[in-house]
Structure 1
């Protein structure tokens, strides 16, 4: 293992007998995460909306690992009822060792989820909150199980508009994306605190992928015009998966936050990452927790102690 230098794909240990859920596993970082876990012998459930895209991803992985144990998990994070259905499907699995919350959206025009939530907050946070909460009992059946929540370096300067969570009065796609990623950071911070206080066997960890070239246009704005030159500075999708793989399979601290360790957190081997002070604000974390229960109707069942 090369933890002292940083975590990379080859540091992922054998995972035979284990089962992982990877959301958004049909493309990009989610696909690479699923690919590596399958190659290490794990059963991987690909949480995706479209069956066709999931099956295409499964076919691609099986070309590399013919005996890969893969299955499509129908999942739409923009519909809380669909999230409930996905959690029900997962209950039939013998075990779940980790839920890797990778799926998300970035910088769309103002759109609404099935329940009417602003789409970035609704999918990136509320959908993740609901899925994680509903799967906690299943995860708790396997000692050492983990929840991985994906934030972003965009959380560092983000703020949540508590008086307009649903973007009824104003909408800036960049600011709302940052707010959703700050919500992710606050969620795993509070989830970790409550899991430990309630002596749960489940561990919560946060990650960010740096700035992956798969998201170049969305992350970098005008810099996308520089094309390959800027691309040299960024993470590829396979390297962007390293923090999630570390969080799901490596030596980590409960409640820790992991990401690329080079070039301002944009790229490099995975290790401990910097988070904003507001991402560890206990008052904000509890406020978000309570608001998320009220908005989704899903209660994680982890009382404050």
Structure 2
């Protein structure tokens, strides 16, 4: 089969600061995505939930997708479901467990071997875990939510950065959450060593850290004069299997309330797709649903938690992530 000719996606508009916003002007849907033919994408967590919906839309628009999952069976199942809708989809299965730094390194090495040189147009850090009921320690010795949601994506982005095309239109999108507004970066309890709270501690902290990481990455890219753009997004409240670990009143009412107050995984994927592809998206922008409390709705600029724009906090967290992963992330190198 002849590959479609490569196209370059429009570059995100420049943003003078992470808090700058842009109006979408109208309801944005996946039908408004620019063609993605000739673009190669890595999207984590694409075997389920909003990650799957995002991968499906990117495939429909012609992107070639590297689709990693924690098992070959999960990757194969996602590919089968995407190809049922898009028979000619260009999909590459891979193994990746973001909770394991060895797995992250192995995946990055596979990408370098299979697709050498600057070969990636888009990296979407979508995968994550939520509200694990007990404090779990990974093989690297880190609390699992912090390892999966923060350290894994940080290491993956750093290791794949040389594979990203240094041209306008190349983007890195990191998924945060409205829960970030309740987060606090507790350097004296970063791994839940002193006290572990599954949702309103470990999870909210991890999603605030993801947002801080995305905004700090854009500051560094801008300072280095890089054309690559970093953006962030959140899905609002989307009905996915991510809520499976909720306990107590959340678990009791979840199956009844989630479909009423939230929206579908397909709708929840739109903010990250907007950040990943829309010409009007801002470098350093943050996007989520435009409804009440950003719970559901159409993609629009999202409200930033005050801590997410603290440059000193961001620099300390970046250095801490480098120390914990053993990976120096220099965007100018």
The separation in 1 between residues aligned to 2:40 and 2:332, in whole angstroms, is: 28
Match of 2:230 among 195, 204, 224: 204
Aligned to 2:213: 187
Paired residues for 1:223-302 under 5 Å: 223-226=250-253, 227-250=255-278, 251-302=280-331
Shift of 1:263: 2.3
Paired residues for 1:22-33 under 5 Å: 22-33=43-54
Aligned to 1:12: 33
Matching of residue 153 in structure 1 with residue 178 in structure 2: yes
Match of 1:98 among 116, 122, 129: 122
SS at match of 1:47: strand
Aligned to 2:105: 84
Aligned to 1:58: 79
SS at match of 1:110: coil
The 3 A distance-change label for structure 1 pair 164 and 65 is: same
Match of 2:202 among 176, 180, 202: 176
Aligned to 2:249: 222
Shift of 1:264: 1.3
Aligned to 1:75: 96
The separation in 2 between residues aligned to 1:23 and 1:252, in whole angstroms, is: 21
Q: Give the length in aligned residue pairs.
A: 303
SS at match of 1:258: strand
- After TM superposition, the runs of 4+ consecutive aligned structure 1 residues lying more than 3 A away are 140-143, 215-221, 223-230
SS at match of 2:290: strand
Matching of residue 134 in structure 1 with residue 159 in structure 2: yes
Shift of 1:31: 0.5
Deviation string 1:85-135 (CA, Å, 9 cap, x unpaired) is 111111232621110000000010211122111111111000000000111
Give the TM-score of the pair, scaled to structure 1.
Answer: 0.94
Aligned to 1:42: 63
Contact 2:237/2:258 (<8 A) preserved: no
Give the TM-score of the pair, scaled to structure 2.
Answer: 0.87
Unaligned segments of structure 2, at least 5 residues: 1-22
Match of 2:150 among 115, 125, 134: 125
RMSD value, Cα = 1.9
Deviation string 1:231-289 (CA, Å, 9 cap, x unpaired) is 12212111110011001111211110001111211111111001101011001000100
Unaligned segments of structure 1, at least 5 residues: none
The 3 A distance-change label for structure 1 pair 297 and 273 is: same
Deviation string 1:68-93 (CA, Å, 9 cap, x unpaired) is 11111211101112111111111232
The 3 A distance-change label for structure 1 pair 219 and 189 is: farther
Using the TM superposition, name which of 11-20 and 137-146 deviates more: 137-146
Shift of 1:293: 0.4
Specify which structure has the bigger relative contact order, considering alpha-carbon pairs within 8 angstroms and separated by 6 or more residues. Answer: 2
Contact 1:224/1:230 (<8 A) preserved: no
